[in-house]
Structure 1
Amino acid sequence: MNVLINKKQITAYTAILGLTGSLLAGCVSSDKASNANSAANSDPASTAPVKLSYWVAMPADAARSVKSFNEVLFYQELEKKTGVKIDFQHPAIGSETEQFNLMIASGNLPNIIESDFTKYPGGPEKAISDKVLIKLNDVIDKNAPNLKKYLDEHPEIRKDIVTDDGTIYVFPGIGIGNNAVSGGLVLRKDWLDELGLAVPETIDDWTNVLRQFKEKKSAKTPFTIRLNDLNTQLFNGAYGIGYEFYMDQGRVKYGPYEQGYKNYLTQMSAWYKEGLIDPDFATQDAKLLDAKVTNGSAGALFTYIGSGMGKYLNSTPGKDGKFDLVGAPYPVLKKGEEPKFINKPYEYRGGGSAGITPSNKNVAATAKWLDYHYSNEGHMLKSFGVEGQTYNMVSGYPKYSDLILKNPDKLSVGEAMSKYLRVSTPSPGLVGDDRYADQYYVYKQQKEASVTFSKHQKNANDVLLPRVSQTPEEASELSAIMAEVTTYQSEMFLKFIMGAEPITNFDKYTAQLKNMKIERAIAIKQAALDRYNKRK
């Protein structure tokens, strides 16, 4: 199924974006630029010349072709348009958290830090009290008309990026688009076709398919997966429980403490005992999993549309040239039910958000520069680049050029996007444009999987715990409780599935969780949710 946007969808999409003017107009020259609000109030060039330091982790795709974001076309063009010079500081890949902590401890802060401050120890409030971030309410009101307009028109996003007392602390990465779910369950479509099987929807369907793969296709590991991926939103949702904290009609619950978790573990244990789940799931790495997919040992897996499906479809024709993949909907227990527990990202991505630090002596200029990311022109530049170079307008639709889709330096689509744009990972501004996703997914099977995985993404809002924040005291207590709970829960998860612990001991397991104060942890989350619901 092709997800190219028709005219009605474009109209709706532009309305959702909440920015004046057509996104389809492309990047006009700076002397003709028209942002969402008055150009006189939002023109970032009026503050030049300014030099700012900017700490941000380098995505792996970008690191393969550039040493700094200063080499990325988007930022080069942004400097030309604004006159603002950015000195990027990138931590070494793999040591981002360590380097972030060292930077905060040193007190030697750059002017801008891009990070996920929802994960800051003690929460965003603590980042402000630690003098790592400044409050942005007045700054945005005076210097960021594009972001201000978006937040005024999308109060649910504003609610997500403020502390409980209403303080805005970042310029956020905001998700848009109708196909936000980037990963899910994938099967060998050629095997399904050969065996006359439909794509599974229910748990019973999955049991039948995996048995057929084992018996009739001699699959040694019918369903292969890695531990971290199994312990996420997948089969658990069929049993009405989340894999961690979630929301049930306004009440916070912890999935592994619920009775539905017992039913989920019972099914996973049965599959494992029958040889339907990869026996190596707890220890195997990505390389071993890839090998099982490509050599025909496995017929189903969890993977991502871009990095997984694209890789396999590109490099694995199969012995008979019939290798094919298909995405399956998130599983349910009974046919006709709609899934709710889906790996849908938050609209406020958390990661890819930029905070201004107290070391910044050019706060107004910085805010105007960041605000450009939320303008029509800024969104097009960040997501599609320069017309005639990285994209061309075709019937009002920005089509990536061969520099992106068929890169002459043999870069993958993701790598080429990372070299020239800032679109493949969350970053300040709007992310997840459907027109980007439709082209990032090169294969028809990827486009179809994107639609399948995201079909019921709105249902996730019923169970997805909002981005609540604990007080520093609560955060400290919660961290101590969950460190013990998570370790125990992870150990018992493996024991139950592998049969080392009988399911009949489930009540003893939940009693131990209670002893570890899981109910206090739930109460802390509930208090945070109650405060979140009062935010304005």
Structure 2
Amino acid sequence: MMACNGERSNHDPQVKITKHVLVIHGLTLLRRSSRMSFRKKTAPIKLASVVALSMIVVTGCGSSTNVESSSEAPKGTTAPAAPLKLSYWVGMPTDGARVMKNYNDSLFYQELEKKTSVKVDFQHPAIGSEKEQFNLLIASGNLPDVIEYNFMNYPGGPEKAISDKVAIPLNDLIAKNAPNLKKYLDEHPELKRDVTTDSGTIYAFPAIGVGNSNVSSGLMLRKDWLNELGLKTPETMEEWTTVLRAFKEKKGAKSPLTLTRDDFKIDRLNGAFNIGATYYIDNGKIKYGPYETAFKDYLMQLNAWYKEGLLDKDFATQDAKAKDGKITNSSSGAFAANIGSGMGKYLNAIPESAKTFDLVAAQHPVMKKGEQPKIFTAAYEYRGDGSAVITPNNKNAASTAKWLDYLYSDEGNTLKSFGVEGTTFNKVNGFPKYTDLITNNPEKLSIGEAMAKYLRVATPAPGFVGDDRYTEQYYKYDQQKEALTVYNKYYKNLEQTRLPRISQTPEEAQELSAIMAEVDTYKDEMFLKFVMGSESFDNYDKYIKQLKSMKIERAIALKQAAFERFKTRK
């Protein structure tokens, strides 16, 4: 269906944008001139019907400029006078694409339309090409009313997206038309700082993480092997060595610890050495892990494991499917994975050859017994992904803000996270318990597929994500629920080490991108050489000097400047 502001291109960024020309992956396109953290986790707040649906004001199609009044609808209005039509660009999660062609097939959006009289024309980029199609969408200038994407990844940052006329400032719209979101941001100033640019502009309706689920992945081991060998779940690197050695020698594991190359690009084992896989904070100063002295100790540990056959020899080349195979055929006894798509998948398909198969989550590793982990992989409470901006092409920005704000109300969160009472959930002593339609689907849909078809809860989207009432039911096995507790135990420690949602100026972003393109390529190459033994550690100083010549210190300074600006945000 065509939205009232015309058809929208079903295309999708990392783009370098100038005033009139856009450069995308080496191609230059002329822009069409026709287009003119760390907070205390809190469950979604109950609001006294502040977002009564009668607030949604609907106007007809007007000029291409945003002239809609932002005043509230008359009291007592139960529905808009006429349907509001919105065009909405958003990627479709893999689970969703398996069970529906379009979000209009989703029970959640069907019910949302009934409640709000807002009809949405969804535009979905092809799975796997979201970034490229976003680039093309921006280059075309033919923007939809709403774009859902991670604008933290927009070249030059969200401020550049606004100056490029891809998104509009939301401060006034939220103040006048989004009471639920406004209240939440006022009560959570650190979250508000994350969704605000350095100049004080709020740019998106965010996906906000709540509950105890910001850390949803980590290191796991074969619990049945640990029990059989009389070993405890390892905490220190020394204990990890002991366990991996026992897996190899006593269980015949060919790849005791199996990982992929990408597992080393995020904070896993490096946290034990108190360095980040990339940028991190150390006593208020930005540092780059691969440029630190401790990075050599980390590499030497990996090299020792590799030479002894404790670290998978194929880690540099194997894909996720190969990794899965080693876990299920008992070639490996330890690995990194998500609680849902990893641990749940493996426990749900216990191989015939390993009937005792069991898994346990390991705490993020440290160097000394009794230390607390401070560097590990976790989601930000402001997810970034799944956040919606209103574009300048939207003729009904105030009504759109009111529509999006419904998702931050208790009623809207219930619809988004649990669906329709009596269909997808029932209240049991006040607790929204999913029905078999979700947890034991008659069409044999997985719980993830069922949630994608009937709700919008399993991936970030405007509103709240990670409600404890959802995760408690999403994770089927006790081992998963225990893993969630283990991985999140030290989440607050990230306040000391993790970069907040800083943003570079457009000029900084361009310079930083040029530096890091070279640095990342060289660092990745040398990482493999050091770990696999083709480069002597006698040459580590040469590696450091090369990074310095590539201007890594300038890149660190640019990050520090952005961090200092972030600290002054209000």
Which TM bucket (shorter chain)?
over 0.9
Inter-partner Cα distance in structure 1 for 2:376 and 2:406: 32
Inter-partner Cα distance in structure 2 for 1:88 and 1:170: 18
1:425 to 459, 484, 490: 459
Aligned to 1:53: 87
* Kept in 1: contact 2:221–2:359 (CA 8 A): yes
* Kept in 2: contact 1:173–1:352 (CA 8 A): yes
Question: Against the structure 1 CA distance between its residues 184 and 190, is the aligned structure 2 distance closer, same or farther, given a 3 Å change threshold?
Answer: same
* Shift in Å, 1:327: 0.6
Aligned to 2:154: 120
Aligned to 1:7: none
* Shift in Å, 1:260: 1.1
1:255 counterpart = 2:299: no
* Kept in 2: contact 1:19–1:146 (CA 8 A): no
* Shift in Å, 1:527: 0.3
Aligned to 2:275: 241
Inter-partner Cα distance in structure 1 for 2:502 and 2:408: 24
1:89 to 123, 126, 134: 123
Aligned to 1:80: 114
Aligned to 1:272: 306
1:325 to 359, 369, 391: 359
2:249 to 210, 215, 224: 215
Aligned to 1:394: 428
Aligned to 1:195: 229
Aligned to 1:309: 343
Aligned to 1:295: 329
Residues 443-454 of structure 1: pairs in structure 2 closer than 5 A: 443-454=477-488
Unaligned runs of 5+ in 1: 1-11, 23-27
Inter-partner Cα distance in structure 2 for 1:97 and 1:162: 23
Aligned to 1:455: 489
Amino acid at match of 1:85: K
2:375 to 341, 365, 390: 341
Amino acid at match of 2:219: L
Amino acid at match of 1:463: T
* Shift in Å, 1:17: 3.3
Aligned to 1:17: 44
3-state SS, counterpart of residue 120 of structure 2: strand
* Shift in Å, 1:281: 0.3
Inter-partner Cα distance in structure 1 for 2:422 and 2:501: 40
2:99 to 48, 61, 65: 65
Question: Against the structure 1 CA distance between its residues 428 and 41, is the aligned structure 2 distance closer, same or farther, given a 3 Å change threshold?
Answer: farther
Inter-partner Cα distance in structure 2 for 1:279 and 1:149: 52
1:108 counterpart = 2:142: yes
CA deviation string 1:7-42 (max 9, x = no partner): xxxxx97x65344359xxxxx9979x9xxxx99789
3-state SS, counterpart of residue 17 of structure 1: coil
Question: Against the structure 1 CA distance between its residues 299 and 160, is the aligned structure 2 distance closer, same or farther, given a 3 Å change threshold?
Answer: same
1:362 to 374, 377, 396: 396
Aligned to 2:178: 144
Amino acid at match of 1:395: N
* Kept in 2: contact 1:484–1:516 (CA 8 A): yes
* Kept in 1: contact 2:364–2:487 (CA 8 A): yes
Question: Against the structure 1 CA distance between its residues 44 and 367, is the aligned structure 2 distance closer, same or farther, given a 3 Å change threshold?
Answer: farther
* Shift in Å, 1:457: 1.0
**Identical aligned pairs, as a percentage?**
64
Inter-partner Cα distance in structure 1 for 2:291 and 2:540: 10
3-state SS, counterpart of residue 399 of structure 1: strand
Inter-partner Cα distance in structure 1 for 2:213 and 2:322: 30
Amino acid at match of 1:91: P
More helix as a share of residues = 1
Question: Against the structure 1 CA distance between its residues 185 and 350, is the aligned structure 2 distance closer, same or farther, given a 3 Å change threshold?
Answer: same
Inter-partner Cα distance in structure 2 for 1:463 and 1:106: 40
3-state SS, counterpart of residue 226 of structure 2: helix
Inter-partner Cα distance in structure 2 for 1:269 and 1:199: 22
* Kept in 2: contact 1:405–1:413 (CA 8 A): yes
* Kept in 2: contact 1:54–1:114 (CA 8 A): yes
CA deviation string 1:316-365 (max 9, x = no partner): 24425101011100000001001011211111101100000011000011
Runs of 4+ with >2 A deviation: 15-22, 28-31, 38-48, 317-320
* Kept in 2: contact 1:44–1:82 (CA 8 A): no
* Kept in 2: contact 1:384–1:398 (CA 8 A): yes
Inter-partner Cα distance in structure 2 for 1:137 and 1:43: 26
Inter-partner Cα distance in structure 1 for 2:482 and 2:102: 35
* Kept in 2: contact 1:72–1:419 (CA 8 A): yes
* Kept in 1: contact 2:330–2:354 (CA 8 A): no
Question: Against the structure 1 CA distance between its residues 30 and 360, is the aligned structure 2 distance closer, same or farther, given a 3 Å change threshold?
Answer: closer
Inter-partner Cα distance in structure 2 for 1:168 and 1:44: 30
Aligned to 2:544: 510
Question: Against the structure 1 CA distance between its residues 453 and 411, is the aligned structure 2 distance closer, same or farther, given a 3 Å change threshold?
Answer: same
Inter-partner Cα distance in structure 1 for 2:78 and 2:289: 47
* Shift in Å, 1:301: 0.5
Cα-Cα RMSD:
2.0
Inter-partner Cα distance in structure 2 for 1:125 and 1:375: 28
Given the two structures, how large is their TM-score scaled by the length of structure 2?
Answer: 0.88
1:165 counterpart = 2:199: yes
* Kept in 2: contact 1:166–1:535 (CA 8 A): yes
* Kept in 2: contact 1:18–1:153 (CA 8 A): no
3-state SS, counterpart of residue 442 of structure 1: coil
Residues 31-46 of structure 1: pairs in structure 2 closer than 5 A: 45-46=79-80
Question: Against the structure 1 CA distance between its residues 518 and 135, is the aligned structure 2 distance closer, same or farther, given a 3 Å change threshold?
Answer: same
Question: Against the structure 1 CA distance between its residues 213 and 44, is the aligned structure 2 distance closer, same or farther, given a 3 Å change threshold?
Answer: farther
Question: Against the structure 1 CA distance between its residues 320 and 427, is the aligned structure 2 distance closer, same or farther, given a 3 Å change threshold?
Answer: closer
CA deviation string 1:470-503 (max 9, x = no partner): 1100000000000000000000110010001112
* Kept in 1: contact 2:53–2:79 (CA 8 A): no
Question: Against the structure 1 CA distance between its residues 42 and 75, is the aligned structure 2 distance closer, same or farther, given a 3 Å change threshold?
Answer: farther
3-state SS, counterpart of residue 422 of structure 2: coil
Inter-partner Cα distance in structure 2 for 1:295 and 1:325: 14
Inter-partner Cα distance in structure 1 for 2:182 and 2:354: 56
Inter-partner Cα distance in structure 1 for 2:354 and 2:401: 57
* Kept in 2: contact 1:112–1:356 (CA 8 A): yes
Aligned to 1:407: 441
Aligned to 1:3: none
Question: Against the structure 1 CA distance between its residues 311 and 320, is the aligned structure 2 distance closer, same or farther, given a 3 Å change threshold?
Answer: closer
* Kept in 2: contact 1:42–1:368 (CA 8 A): no
1:384 to 418, 442, 460: 418
Question: Against the structure 1 CA distance between its residues 40 and 328, is the aligned structure 2 distance closer, same or farther, given a 3 Å change threshold?
Answer: farther
* Kept in 2: contact 1:241–1:260 (CA 8 A): yes
* Shift in Å, 1:230: 2.4
Inter-partner Cα distance in structure 1 for 2:565 and 2:154: 19
Paired residues, number: 515
CA deviation string 1:80-130 (max 9, x = no partner): 000000000000111111100001001000000000001001111110011
Aligned to 2:35: none
Aligned to 1:8: none
